[in-house]
């Protein structure tokens, strides 16, 4: 035999093997909650001569299409009982799904017990998560824990060698295309792929149920399941793969611009968390770079707030992420348009402002929707993960404790709280300097608090800020009086810090001797 003949021979063998692994659907069990998109599938299966088994509302839906259905009760010889809690949980149903068609004993038992073969299972589960999110009663939520459906999915997915499992309305379209293209014949590769989808559905469903029952964290267990994932261009660097798992569309309405990168998303997250501190307050604008604020200001108008935020560091603002706590108007948009920036976020944009900002094709415009953020943060650590409650404490006037004989005046208190909000969202060790509700400068991510302060002073003076009468915020206590001394010499008149050092008195004594007001918050805001 020639080499070409051998190639043809082995190609034919391979083709025959693959064909032998194809399974043509001759029977299907359909039991779904949502009927959306189901009709075309049912009509196609009926056209292909498939026997359809079903229950309850799904059975009625199919009958209303003028298509014959074999009720599950005819197989089980049991009616639906316990208010519909038990319909398909029966050996004849699960035997039809789980039997191994290449196993002689299974085949024999199927015949002995009159068990029908089931080649396809189509299930859409009760909407447990949506019911929880709706604020429904515990009783209603419990009834939306699917038992029969989840069991059908697991059984069919386990036996993917002989059965295809369609476990979500999201997969109806793809399944319809498969049975249409091959007249109901499904390859082993497709059956295994759908099994993978199914186990994703079942594991996510169980995680949601567990997390509902474990709201009080009585079980120290971490279960995170995100089914909405997207592949990013890359991670922090081009040689790293990157992914985002979450419902971005629920959080934002994207009006314009390129695809967000991994680093864009980190900066957007930092921007949103910072601006949450200023919800409901006067117009506030912030500019962030590398997860830290490089400019923040609060004014009577957003236009002025933007101008003063940019003045905090016009160099770092290049390529930054911008965020507002109120609608961006035309005047503000025209100013923003002269700056190269990656992302602009706001609760809304006026039509004129949107038109102007769309003038740069890659600039990303995001409307921030009113969505609750997660209450915990998760990050990898060693060979596991660290989980903590988010720092949800915002320092306000009610918690301030005067540590010095000199007390801050009202305007200084406002600046102190303004600086504290920024400090909370800046990389430790950090020092934030502010004046007249404007960020003058911050020292970020330094190994010593003295270095952070010196960095902030140098940066503020380089951008021509007069620090006389400015205030200082620290994310943690001062173990020595060196910081308050340096601050005083730079013009700082008031300080906000958590307190709690065994040497607090040294800083207090210096402030008392030099007419510097200091308040304690009793709350540390480390951000590592």
**What one-character-per-residue DSSP string does 265-293 give?**
HHHHHHHHHHHGGGTTSS-EEEEEETTEE
Residue from 35, 44, 158, 358 carrying the catalytic annotation: 158
- Which residue from 348, 340, 382, 377 is spatially nearest to 365, judged by alpha carbons? 348
Instruction: Identify any residues that bridge with 468 across adjacent strands, giving them in sequence order.
Output: none
3-state secondary structure of 294: strand
**Ordered alpha helix ranges (H), 241-379:** 248-251, 262-275, 302-311, 330-336, 351-357
Residue 435 has what DSSP assignment?
S
Q: Which residues pair with 245 in a beta bridge?
A: 229
Nearest to 270, CA basis, from 354, 377, 414: 377
CB atoms within 10 A of CB 504: 19
- Contact yes or no for 463/311 (Cβ under 8 A): yes
Residues 6+ apart with CB under 8 A from 77: none
Q: State how far the Cα of 527 lies from the Cα of 262, in Å rounded to an integer.
A: 20
Closest Cα to residue 121, out of 97, 100, 88? 97
Q: Cβ-count burial of 4 within 10 angstroms (0-12 exposed, 13-18 middle, 19+ buried)?
A: exposed
How confident is the model at residue 179, as a pLDDT?
93
pLDDT number for residue 275: 97
Kindly report the backbone phi and psi dihedral angles of residue 443, in degrees, each rounded to the nearest multiple of 5, phi listed first: -100, 120
How many whole angstroms separate alpha carbon 357 and alpha carbon 326? Answer: 16
- pLDDT at position 20, please? 56
pLDDT at residue number 5 = 61
Tell me what percent of the chain is helix, strand and coil, each rounded to the nearest 5.
40, 20, 40
Please give the Cα distance from 25 to 59 (Å, whole number).
19
Predicted pLDDT at 3: 54
Comparing CA positions, the residue from 136, 140, 132, 135 lying closest to residue 207 is 132
Active-site position among 223, 256, 290, 337 = 290
**CA 130, 207, 223: angle at the middle one, nearest 5?**
125
Residues 6+ apart with CB under 8 A from 410: none
Residue 512: exposure state from Cβ atoms within 10 A (0-12, 13-18, ≥19): middle
- Partner residues linked to 214 by β-bridges: none
> Which residue segments constitute the domains of the chain, with CATH numbers given?
18-213 (3.40.50.1380), 253-368 (3.40.140.20), 397-520 (3.40.140.20)
3-state secondary structure 17-78: HHHHHCEECCEEEEEECCCCCHHHHHHHHHHCCCEEEECHHHHHHHHHCCCCCEEHHHHHCC
Query: Along the chain (528 residues), what's the average pLDDT of each consecutive run of 10 residues?
Result: 55 49 92 92 94 91 94 84 81 90 90 92 92 90 90 95 94 94 92 95 93 88 87 94 93 95 96 96 97 97 98 95 98 97 97 97 96 90 92 94 96 98 96 98 95 97 96 96 96 97 96 97 94
204 given a catalytic annotation = no
158 part of the active site: yes
Cβ atoms within 10 Å, residue 413: 19
Alpha helices in 341-481 (DSSP H): 351-357, 410-424, 449-462
How confident is the model at residue 93, as a pLDDT?
A: 87
Q: What does DSSP say about strands 341-346 and 364-368: parallel, antiparallel, or unpaired?
A: parallel
The pLDDT of residue 426 is: 96
pLDDT for residue 15: 46
């Amino acid at each position: 035999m020639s080499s070409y003949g051998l190639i043809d021979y082995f190609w034919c063998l391979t083709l025959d093997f693959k064909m032998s692994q194809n399974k043509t659907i001759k029977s299907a069990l359909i039991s779904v909650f949502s009927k959306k998109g189901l009709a075309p599938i049912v009509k196609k299966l009926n056209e292909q001569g498939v026997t359809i088994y079903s229950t309850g509302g799904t059975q009625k839906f199919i009958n209303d299409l003028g298509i014959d259905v074999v009720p599950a009760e005819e197989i089980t010889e049991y009616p639906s009982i316990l208010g519909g809690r038990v319909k398909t949980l029966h050996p004849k149903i699960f035997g039809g799904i789980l039997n191994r068609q290449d196993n002689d004993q299974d085949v024999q038992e199927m015949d002995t017990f009159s068990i029908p073969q089931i080649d396809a299972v189509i299930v859409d589960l009760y909407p447990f998560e949506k019911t929880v999110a709706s604020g429904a009663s515990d009783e209603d939520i419990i009834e939306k824990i699917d038992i029969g459906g989840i069991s059908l999915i697991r059984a069919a997915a386990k036996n993917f060698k002989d059965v295809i499992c369609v476990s979500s309305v999201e997969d109806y379209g793809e399944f319809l295309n498969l049975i249409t293209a091959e007249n109901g014949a499904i390859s082993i590769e497709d059956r295994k792929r759908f099994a993978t989808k199914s186990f994703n559905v079942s594991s996510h469903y169980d995680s949601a149920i567990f997390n509902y029952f474990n709201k009080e964290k009585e079980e120290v267990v971490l279960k995170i399941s995100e089914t909405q994932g997207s592949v990013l261009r890359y991670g922090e660097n081009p040689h790293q793969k990157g992914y985002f798992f979450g419902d971005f569309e629920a959080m934002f309405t994207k009006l314009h611009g390129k695809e967000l990168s991994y680093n864009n998303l980190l900066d957007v997250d930092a921007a949103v968390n910072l601006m949450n501190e200023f919800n409901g307050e006067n117009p506030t604008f912030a500019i962030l770079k590398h997860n830290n604020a490089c400019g923040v200001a609060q004014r009577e108008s957003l236009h002025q707030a933007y101008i003063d935020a940019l003045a905090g560091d016009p160099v770092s603002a290049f390529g930054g992420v911008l965020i507002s706590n109120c609608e961006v108007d035309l005047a503000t948009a025209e100013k923003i348009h002269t700056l190269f920036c990656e992302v602009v976020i706001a609760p809304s944009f006026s039509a004129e402002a949107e038109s102007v900002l769309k003038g740069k094709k890659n600039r990303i415009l995001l409307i921030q929707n009113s969505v609750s953020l997660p209450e915990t943060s998760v990050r990898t650590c060693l060979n596991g993960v660290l989980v903590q409650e988010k720092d949800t404490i915002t320092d306000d006037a009610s918690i301030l404790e005067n540590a010095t004989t000199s007390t801050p005046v009202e305007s200084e208190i406002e600046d102190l709280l303004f600086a504290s909000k920024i400090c909370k969202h800046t990389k430790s060790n950090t020092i934030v300097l502010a004046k007249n509700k404007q960020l003058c400068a911050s020292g970020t991510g330094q190994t010593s608090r003295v270095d952070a302060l010196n960095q902030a002073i140098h940066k503020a003076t380089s951008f021509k800020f007069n620090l006389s009468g400015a205030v200082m915020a620290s994310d943690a206590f001062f173990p020595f009086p060196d910081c308050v001394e340096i601050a005083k010499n730079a013009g700082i008149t008031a300080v906000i810090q958590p307190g709690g050092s065994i040497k607090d008195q040294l800083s207090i004594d210096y402030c008392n001797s030099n007419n510097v007001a200091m308040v304690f918050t009793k709350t540390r805001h480390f951000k590592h």
